[in-house]
Amino acid sequence: MKKLVLLIMLAACVWVGYAALMAYDKYFPYGRMRETPAVRPYEKPLLVMEAGTVPVVDSEAVYRAMEGRELRSPLLPGDLKAVQRGQTVYDTFCRQCHGGDHDGNGTVGQSFTPLPTDLRTSRVQGLMNGVLFQHISYGAGSGSRQPALATTIRIDDRWNVIAYIKSIGVRE
């Protein structure tokens, strides 16, 4: 008999709880997730791209497909504005690893093994601009921790960083 009463009380509690949830869902004005636009994202037709939206000339694919030795910087040698912009971009994206002295001892870079490249070595300063562009854009290859920054830094800003790196010269 006690078990039957306990079972009836349990069923009544479940029913009251269910009724309370349904009333809450029906009358409470907030939190009705099934009625928000975010739940039905595909009810409207997708937008159609206009012709020319996807670039086919001067796009990232062109830079990725070419050999680094074939790439040419669009900047004039010694362009002071490009060097200044390059320094700003370097300070934003590169300084943490390569450091303020360009030696690979930045706050983040000093924890890497091997250290990031010293940008003032004759090896780096002697690289062609296109090769540097590809190293910055797509990583420097095996054994290097240089991240691919093609999706992070705009194309023209990568060329500006190269102008800045070339302007600092070889460490003496």
Q: Alpha-carbon distance 60 to 151, whole Å? A: 9
Q: Are 69 and 133 in contact (CB under 8 A)?
A: no
Mean pLDDT score across all residues of the chain? 83
Q: What is the mean pLDDT of residues 23-31?
A: 69
Phi, psi values for residue 101, rounded to 5°: -95, 5
**pLDDT band, residue 42 (cuts 50/70/90):** low
Please report the pLDDT score of residue 36 as a whole number.
53
Is the pLDDT at 141 greater than 80? The verdict is no
DSSP state of 36: S
Q: Are 116 and 146 in contact (CB under 8 A)?
A: yes
Q: Are 83 and 91 in contact (CB under 8 A)?
A: no
> Side chain identity at 57, as an amino acid letter?
V
Q: Which range has highest mean pLDDT (61-65, 107-111, 157-161)?
A: 157-161
Q: Are 69 and 130 in contact (CB under 8 A)?
A: yes
Q: Which residues contact 76 (CB under 8 A, 6 or more apart)?
A: 82
Burial 107-127 (b: 16+ CB within 10 A, else e): eebeeeeebbbbbbeeebeeb
**pLDDT band, residue 38 (cuts 50/70/90):** low
**Six-digit token pair at 53?**
């939206």
Is the pLDDT at 170 greater than 80? The verdict is yes
More confident residue, 32 or 150: 150
Q: Are 18 and 10 in contact (CB under 8 A)?
A: no
pLDDT tens track for 57-105:
667 777 888 888 888 888 888 899 999 999 999 999 999 999 999 998 8
Please report the pLDDT score of residue 128 as a whole number.
92
User: Containing H/E element for 16?
Assistant: helix 2-27
Lowest mean pLDDT among 61-65, 84-88, 130-134, 146-150: 61-65
